[in-house]
Structure 1
Amino acid sequence: MKTTGNTIFISGGSAGIGLAIAKKLSAAGNKIIINGRNQERLQGALDQLENTVSIQGDLSVKADRIKIAEELKNNHPAVNIIINNAGAAFMNDLSNSNNNAAEKAYEEINTNYISVIDFTALTLPLLLQQKEAAIVNVSSIAVFRSNKYLPTYSASKAALHSYTQGLRDTFADNENLNIYELYPPLVNTEFSAEIGGVNGIPPSEVANELFDALGKDQFEVPVGDTKKIHELVTPITDNVPH
């Protein structure tokens, strides 16, 4: 699809991967709408961007999802790309019965999975009005293999991955709506600091890969180390009946 002249909504766009994507797409001549929970952080991001506005709100909250979707419909009716990037992650020690593992998992599932399903449903009518539209779900290398540090985060992203595949199949016959999945590995952001993000790739690398994929209609977008796993797994899963 085209990589310029779009109107693009990015959740979690005030920092990290979301901000890097906003910078890349803004510089390419797109109108950007960034979303985040903290107005001060949103303003800091706006100071670094051109042709960008913000919508404050917490997409993990149903009322905020409805409010944001309505604002897009009423004030930004040309929006044609939704990037579901906002996420939650916790170190979750399943061996510790006092760890509140289920509460952490609930927040991850709600933010990383349930809210994406609901927000997508709320914005689909607007996207389907456009001549060319896309949904980009930001999953993770963790969809392919969990670990003891992020077991419930990995599960939430695996759920998002499965949903994204189903969403793509649902609209396979619609030539105007494309469904992308972006698979970052460990990325050096504040979000991943607790799990050694300093050793990760720069968020700009993720943004560059997504930009290139949009232009090539490459709906699966593995980045960095994820490419090695994706190359092994995809030939198998592509042959599974669906």
Structure 2
Amino acid sequence: MKTTGNTVFITGGSAGIGLAIAKKLTAEGNHIIINGRNQERLDNALKELPGAVGIQGDFAVEADRIRVAEELKNNHPEVNVIINNAGAAFGYLLSEETNAFEKAQIEMNVNYIAIIHFNELMIPHLLQKDDAAVVNISSLAVYGSHKFLPTYGATKAALHSYTVALRYTYEEQKNLQIYEVYPPLTNTEFSSYVGGENGIPASEVAEELFLGLEKDQFDIPVGEVKKYAAAVGEAMAKLAAQEANS
């Protein structure tokens, strides 16, 4: 799709990967609207994004999702790209945690249910555009779980499955494209409790997303995730060949 002249809304855009994406797309000539839960943090992020707009809201809350969607459609009708970046993750051991159920509910709500709901609210609007996209920020965790993030991986696997179904649903409508980005461990505050300082810079995720949009590459693995994606692709190709010859 086109990579300049878009109006892009980014959830969780006041820090980390979301802010890095906002900076990159701003530099490439796009109008940016970012969302964040904390107004002060949102205001600070806007200082780094010339011409950007902020909309405060907690995407874990249904009423906030509805309010933000209405504000976008009424006050920023030119929006044509939605980047679902806001996420939740808890690091703990199942053997030591007594509230795993509660934590899993929060993760599943933010990382999966909220995205389905917000896309449902916004896709009818996007379908009216000549060139539109939904970008879901997934994770390396799609390819396997980690004992210190015992329920987070399942939410990202669910998001991946939904994203594939969404892409199939709209594959005949060329004006709406569905992308999925798979970052590895990234050096952000969000991942600090699982060694995020050892991860790649958030700017690398933003660069890979931009290149993916430019090339219409709907699955965008980043960094070390590329080797996992390649291995899965080879396995699927072998399976398809076996089925064709059977």
TM-score, normalising length: structure 1: 0.97
Q: Which moved more, 1:105-114 or 1:230-239?
A: 230-239
Q: 1:216 to 1:111 in 2, by over 3 A?
A: same
1:79 aligns with 2:79: yes
**Separation in 1 of the partners of 2:236 and 2:13?**
31
Other-structure match for 1:189: 188
Tell me how far apart the structure 2 counterparts of residues 219 and 129 of structure 1 sit (CA, whole Å).
Answer: 21
Aligned mates of 2:234, 2:169 — CA distance in 1: 21
2:153 corresponds to which residue?
154
Unaligned runs of 5+ in 2: none
Q: How does 1:127-166 map to 2 (within 5 A)?
A: 127-166=126-165
Q: Is 1:88–1:111's contact at 8 Å kept on the other side of the alignment?
A: yes
- 2:155 aligned partner, one-letter code: S
Aligned to 1:42: 42
Question: Distance in 2 between the 1:231 and 1:3 partners?
Answer: 26
* C-alpha separation in 2, matches of 1:22 and 1:99: 37
SS at match of 1:83: strand
SS of residue in 1 equivalent to 2:135: strand
Identity of aligned residues (%): 64
Residue in 2 that maps onto 1:13: 13
Q: Which residue in the other structure is 1:172 paired with?
A: 171
Q: What residue identity is the alignment partner of 1:219?
A: F
Superposition RMSD in Å: 1.2
Contact 1:19-1:45 within 8 A present in 2 as well: yes
Q: Are the equivalent residues in 2 in contact too, given 1:9–1:33 (CA < 8 A)?
A: yes
- Contact persistence 1:83–1:137 (CA under 8 A): yes
Alignment size in residue pairs: 240
CA contact (8 A) 1:37 1:58 kept: yes
Tell me if structure 2 keeps the 8 A contact 1:30–1:51.
no
Which residue does the alignment assign to 1:125? 124
Amino acid at match of 1:76: H
Moved over 2 A (4+): 234-241
- CA–CA separation in structure 1 for the residues paired with 2:116 and 2:210: 23
Alignment correspondent of 1:104:
103
- In the alignment, the residues of structure 2 paired with residue 146 and residue 131 of structure 1 have an alpha-carbon distance, to the nearest angstrom, of 39
Are the counterparts in 2 of residues 73 and 126 from structure 1 also a CA contact under 8 Å?
yes
Q: Distance in 2 between matches of 1:124 and 1:111?
A: 18
Post-superposition offset of 1:237: 4.4
The separation in 2 between residues aligned to 1:85 and 1:147, in whole angstroms, is: 21
Cα separation, 2, equivalents of 1:58 and 1:187: 23
Change (3 A) 1:237 1:117: farther
Contact kept, 8 Å, 1:92 with 1:99, in 2: the verdict is: no
TM-score of the two chains, using structure 2 as the length reference: 0.95
**Alignment partner, residue 95 of structure 1:** 95
Q: Which runs of 5+ in 1 are unaligned?
A: none
Aligned partners of 1:140 and 1:184 also within 8 Å: yes
Within 1, Cα distance between the matches of 2:226 and 2:98? Answer: 33
Q: Partners of 2:7 and 2:236 in 1: how far apart?
A: 33
Residues of 2 paired with 1:235 and 1:85: CA distance? 28
Q: What amino acid is aligned across from residue 23 of structure 1 in structure 2?
A: K
Maintained 8 Å contact 1:93/1:99: no
Name the CA distance, whole Å, in 1 between partners of 2:222 and 2:174.
26
Deviations 1:137-194 (A, max 9, x none): 0000000010111120011011001100010011111110000000000000000000
The separation in 2 between residues aligned to 1:113 and 1:72, in whole angstroms, is: 21
Structure 1 distance, partners of 2:78, 2:98, is: 45
Return the index of the structure with the highest Cα Rg: 2
Instruction: Please tell me the residue identity of whatever aligns with 2:232.
Output: V
Query: Is 1:220 paired with 2:238?
Result: no
Tell me, in whole angstroms, the C-alpha distance in 2 between the residues paired with 1:147 and 1:155.
10
Partner of 1:229: 228
3-state SS of the aligned residue for 2:165?
A: helix
